[in-house]
Amino acid sequence: MTKFFNVLANIFFPLRYLLVLICFISLFSIVYLLIFSSIKTQELYLTTCLLVSLWGLLLFVLCHSYHGDLSDRNASKLSAKGNLGWFRRLKLKLVKMFLWVYSLLFIILIAISMHFSFKILTL
């Protein structure tokens, strides 16, 4: 599960500045639409800006959470040398468990975002 997110994050990592820019532009557009525009214009563009900011922020968090080497590769290098103590093994198991729980929470967050997006788009 973490390997899939690592590959996905490495794909989106060069676009991280673009994702932040898109997220900020859509958030500023939401503020502008709420203050200065008519109700008709808000109906047209507010949901789009909300969804763009949601997905831009979600992909940005994905990029920075899973980018880089996995701890599995580092653990396999260290265990091949045979110099792992009991505290280091415990630490690596805790890191693996934390990454698994974090990946599961991220899958739940993506599912909630998709459900929210479909609900808003079908209104």
Tens digit of pLDDT for each residue in 5-49?
A: 888 888 888 888 999 999 999 999 999 999 999 999 988 899 889
Confidence band of 108 (pLDDT split at 50, 70, 90): very high
In angstroms, rounded to a whole number, what is the distance separating the alpha carbons of residues 24 and 96?
33
What total number of domains does the chain contain? 1
Structure token digits, residue 27: 């958030």
If you search the block for the tokens 């990946």, which residue do you land on?
A: 103
83: containing domain: 2-121
Residues 6+ apart with CB under 8 A from 62: 5, 8, 9, 12, 106
pTM of the model: 0.73
If you search the block for the tokens 């997905």, which residue do you land on?
A: 55
In angstroms, rounded to a whole number, what is the distance separating the alpha carbons of residues 107 and 104?
5
